[in-house]
């Protein structure tokens, strides 16, 4: 009748799973999840509150999460993962992920720079590098505060640290690449 969504090949659809991870760490309302996505989890996934509410409702109707009225006589709905949700998450984590490809506006601009105003682009790139440096500094401070010694880490704590490391490496990637780009062009056309 309707297009079933239980194709076992399905690999994408990560927002559901990201929410399940967050809810397993600790039950939360929609807005709390939004704020988490703006913070620690946010450097590898981003979502608006509207999208999060929509997806939470769908997950509830599929039985992956339950909602309970948190603070009485409020409209607040506090979500938690169900056993079914935990199983869905575990299955997904164990499934293979295709290698990521980049999908970056900026790379398109760099490739096409000779069809536009290169000096203006180079100016924007300076701003971007500065922004990435700020984010890098922020992440490094988080690492310093939350993981002062990393030798004994294991399990979920180790995961959290290593994902933060990924955020740091990602910022370093951008800084290096964009710096190489601007330097090469400023050297070629002084």
Partner DNA sequence: CTCACTTGTGCAACTAGTTGCACAAGGCGT
Partner DNA sequence: ACGCCTTGTGCAACTAGTTGCACAAGTGAG
Evaluate the CA torsion angle 179, 180, 181, 182 in order and state its sign. Answer: positive
User: Three-state SS for 79?
Assistant: strand
The span from the CA of 124 to the CA of 8, in Å, is 44
Convert 158-176 to b/e letters by CB count within 10 Å (16 or more is b): eebeeebeebbebbeebbe
- Residue 13 CB, nearest approach to its own copies (Å): 9
User: What number of residues does the chain have?
Assistant: 190
Of the residues 8, 21, 40, 51, which one makes contact with DNA according to CB under 7 A: 51
Region 74-93 residues binding its own copies, contact defined as CB under 8 A: 86, 89-93
Stretch that binds DNA, among 42-50, 80-88, 147-155, 176-184 (CB under 7 A): 42-50
Q: Which does 74 bind (CB under 5 to 8 A by kind): DNA, its own copies, none?
A: DNA
Query: Which residues ranging from 6 to 35 are in contact with DNA (CB under 7 A)?
Result: 7, 12-15, 29-32
Chain-centroid distance, C-alpha 127: 22
Count interface residues toward its own copies (CB under 8 A): 74
Near its own copies in 112-141, by CB under 8 A: 112-117, 120-121, 124, 127-128, 131-132, 135
Tell me if residue 160 falls in helix, strand or coil.
Answer: helix
Residues of the shown chain interacting with DNA in the complex, contacts defined by CB under 7 A: 2-3, 5, 7, 12-15, 29-32, 46-51, 53-57, 70, 73-78
């Amino acid at each position: 009748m309707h297009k079933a969504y239980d194709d076992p090949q399905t690999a994408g659809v990560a927002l559901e799973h990201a929410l399940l991870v967050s809810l397993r760490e600790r039950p939360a309302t929609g807005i709390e999840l939004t704020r988490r996505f703006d913070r620690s989890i946010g450097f590898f996934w981003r979502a608006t509150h509207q999208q999060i509410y929509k997806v939470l409702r769908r997950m509830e109707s599929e039985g992956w999460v339950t909602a309970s009225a948190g603070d009485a006589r409020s409209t607040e709905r506090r979500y938690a993962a169900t056993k079914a949700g935990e199983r869905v998450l575990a299955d997904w984590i164990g499934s293979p992920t295709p290698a990521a490809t980049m999908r970056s506006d900026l790379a398109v601009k760099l490739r096409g720079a000779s069809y536009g105003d290169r000096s203006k682009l180079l100016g924007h790139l300076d701003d971007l590098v500065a922004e990435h440096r700020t984010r890098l500094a922020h992440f490094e401070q988080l690492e310093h505060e939350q993981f002062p010694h990393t030798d004994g880490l294991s399990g979920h704590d180790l995961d959290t640290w290593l994902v933060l490391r990924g955020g740091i490496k990602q910022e370093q990637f951008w800084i290096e690449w964009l710096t190489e780009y601007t330097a090469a062009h400023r050297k070629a056309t002084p």
